[in-house]
Amino acid sequence: MDWLELVAALVSVAAVWLTVLRRVVSCPVGIVSVILYAWVFIAARLYSDALLQGIFGVMIVYSWVYWKRHLDAGARVVVVPLARRSAVIHVLLGVACALALGYAMHRFTNAALPWLDSALTAFSLVAQWWQARRHVAAWWLWIIVDVIYVGEYVYKRLDITSVLYAGFVVLAVLGLRHWQRARDTAAPATAAVRTGG
């Protein structure tokens, strides 16, 4: 499975890099990456991660449709702020999902790390939703989740994937900077339109 893990990692890096650049083409590349990684995680008995890949696939299709309607003149996705109330609700939903999934994985499967894997799955979904909705906050959450994933994959001896997720931390930092810059650049133009300037 090492070759499959390597191919999945390379495709995933391409998808995340294209997302950092706010390019819609990241979506079809992302779909290929989640299909490949679903097989890798099933083989490693990380069932929550495998399930996460399927859900990511659905969310990526949603992003593809949604992003195509929110592009700037350069065909890049327009970044928007995340309301504090929405952030709190989404985080609480993440906690609830983490607990429910962790219990199910602990009780009904032979999952290797049911509670940790479930928490990472739940908060990855929150991050993916924020990303689909074009919020800079997604990158902050990805940084936290990906750092923890590195440790999980080192423990599970998925060496290629642990290196990949270390790379994802770097890409998430770059994504944060790029998306913040895009948000800050768009803010004066939006303010000018609102004031009639």
Residue whose C-alpha is closest to residue 29's, from 62, 60, 66 = 60
Q: Chain-wide mean pLDDT for the chain?
A: 90
In percent, the amount of the chain with pLDDT more than 70 equals 94
Sign of CA dihedral 41, 142, 52, 33: negative
**Residue 136 near residue 79, CB atoms below 8 Å:** yes
For residue 76, what are its two tokens? 């890049």
- Quick one: pLDDT at residue 48? 74
Question: Residue 135 carries which DSSP code?
Answer: B
- Between the CA of residue 190 and those of 158, 176, 181, 197, what are the distances in Å? 45, 20, 14, 10
User: What one-character-per-residue DSSP string does 130-148 give?
Assistant: HHHTTBTHHHHHHHHHHHH
- Quick one: pLDDT at residue 196? 37
- Quick one: pLDDT at residue 193? 36
Tell me the pLDDT tens digit for each residue of 65-80.
999 999 998 999 999 9
What pTM was computed for the model?
Answer: 0.85
Range of the domain at 42: 2-195
CA–CA separation, 14 and 49 (whole Å): 20
Tell me the pLDDT tens digit for each residue of 20-61.
999 999 999 999 999 999 998 898 887 877 888 999 999 999
CA–CA separation, 176 and 190 (whole Å): 20
Domain count, the chain: 1
- Quick one: pLDDT at residue 197? 37
Tell me the pLDDT tens digit for each residue of 151-174.
998 998 888 889 989 999 999 999
For residue 184, what are its two tokens? 């800050």
pLDDT band at residue 187 under the 50/70/90 scheme: low
Q: Which amino acid is at 187?
A: A
pLDDT at 176 over 80: yes
In a 13 Å sphere around the CA of 75, the CA atoms on its Cβ side amount to 6
